[in-house]
Amino acid sequence: MLPQACLSIAVSVVIAPALVWAHSKGIYATKQAALEQASQLRCQGAHQNNGAWMPCLDEADLHRAQRRQ
């Protein structure tokens, strides 16, 4: 059981910061800023998330666009 817990913690330490970094790159105060980033990412539109704006049609589309870069 202990090795599985250690593996889980190690994976969290490696993966979680990458997810946070990806999200921080995709959150904007204005729709216009998100649309400009969408153009850079080569995706369409913008969507709202918790009062902020994110590029692309939805969050899944944003993550796909970020992986293409």
Distance CA 11, CA 29 (A): 31
pTM of this prediction exceeds 0.85: no
Residue 66 confidence (pLDDT) above 60? yes
Residue 6 confidence (pLDDT) above 50? no
- Region 33-59: mean pLDDT is 96
pLDDT number for residue 26 = 82
pLDDT number for residue 1 = 54
DSSP for the chain, please give it.
-HHHHHHHHHHHHHHHHHHHHHHHHT-BSSHHHHHHHHHHHT---EEEETTEEEESSSHHHHHHHHHH-
- Region 22-49: mean pLDDT is 90
